[in-house]
Chain A
Amino acid sequence: MDMTVLNPNLEQALISVIEQGLPLVPRPYADIALQIGCSEQEVIEGLQALKNRGDIKRFGVVVRHRKLGYRANGMVVWDVPDEEVKRLGHCIGQYSFVTLCYRRPRQLPEWGYNLFTMVHGRNQQEVEEKTLLLVEQCGLDDIKHEILFSSRCFKQRGARYISNNPLAEIKISPASDQK
């Protein structure tokens, strides 16, 4: 049996329920099966298929960095020559303190950066040190960059592509990066 193929209706239903997280009960997959009208085994196999296919990058505990003392979150943006962006992106993306590494379009004239990385640290200094490490390790001395520190978090939750539940968590956290 091909473990990457899923009934499209089941797939849609499964994604809309699962993107909000598992119910914390002894048999969460059975609980989801009941909600969408299939068997527990189909839920388990469906999730396995989504993982195998790479649509689910990881499946487990999703932590909030800020609450764990990683209060400084720096979006480091780089203006990399187009022909270098792939190589440098792969270099930056391999470090464990980097949690995102994407190429995005420039929007000239107001925005000239095309490589975006997220660096987490306990404070701004730690983020700056880690960014410096990236500059040294990946040879980025001649690449213009800026660190955009977050100062307030207005909202943070998992992406909802399908369910778009109106009961969004709307939160304002105080500035906490300075330290």
Chain B
Amino acid sequence: MNTRVPEKSESNFSELEKHLLNDFQHDLPLTENPFADIASKLGSDEQTVISTLQNLKDRGIISRVGPVFRPNRIGVSTLAAMAVPEEELVLVAEKVSAYAEVNHNYERLHHFNLWFVVTARDDSHLDKVLQEMENNCGYSVMSLPMLEDYFIDLGFDLKWT
């Protein structure tokens, strides 16, 4: 039984959900019927696997079933930060989030308090977006593009206890 899971987090997962969340982050079968193949590994059936994944997606537990691209292999991206006065943060964050080129956008507890990732198809488009953002928000954007990746993505090992 879980003893350390904090309140209000989603913690009541069925065995099927736990396996779907933990075991298929890396290699979804590239076969004609991938969900049927998953089902046979887990002793379930195709329709149950599909509806369970859909339900996890609807609840926001998973963002998608699909690829994680290696950064900067397809298009370009950067991690950007702004230092925004507290009283304007929500407004500026909404302006930043409104860009389709922005995927992650977080408040962090620091002088630089707004951190977001911007992706684009090429450098000139990326520069244009960052420039436009500065004009639009009224704060300078610090851009910290990745120079080297030391991490091998093996998915995230979820500990259920």
A residues lining the B interface (CB < 8 Å): 15, 18-22, 24-30, 40, 44, 47-48, 50-51, 54-65, 67-69, 71, 73, 75, 85-86, 89-90, 92-94, 96, 98-105, 107, 110-111, 116, 120, 122-123, 146, 148-162, 164-166, 168, 170, 172, 176, 179
Contact = CB atoms under 8 A, between A and B. Distances in A.
A164 B33 contact: no
B69 A161 contact: yes
A62 B30 contact: no
Interface in B85-112: 90, 93-94, 96-110, 112
Given A57-B69, A160-B119, A67 B9 contact: yes
B105 to A, nearest CB: 4
A32 to B, nearest CB: 10
Given A21-B66, A62-B68, A148-B109, A164 B151 contact: no
Contacts of B137: none
Contacts, number: 271
Interface residues of B, number: 86
A102 B9 CA distance: 29
A123 B5 CA distance: 10
Contacts of B69: 15, 19, 55-57, 159, 161
Contacts of A157: 63, 103-104
A56 B68 contact: yes
5 contacts: A55-B69, A63-B61, A63-B62, A111-B142, A161-B120
A40 B60 CA distance: 29
A48 to B, nearest CB: 6
A148 B119 CA distance: 22
B27 interface: yes
A22 B102 contact: no
Nearest to B146: A102
A76 to B, nearest CB: 11
A98 B151 contact: yes
B64 interface: yes
B148 interface: yes
A105 B6 CA distance: 36
Given A22-B66, A67-B9, A151 B108 contact: yes
Contact of A26 (B35, B70, B154): B35
Given A60-B24, A61-B28, A159-B117, A104 B144 contact: yes
Contact of A146 (B4, B54, B110): B110
A66 B28 CA distance: 23
Contacts of B60: 64, 67
A68 B21 contact: yes
A111 B53 CA distance: 41
A72 to B, nearest CB: 10
Given A24-B54, A148-B108, A164 B30 contact: no
A27 B98 contact: no
A75 B115 contact: yes
Contacts of B11: 69
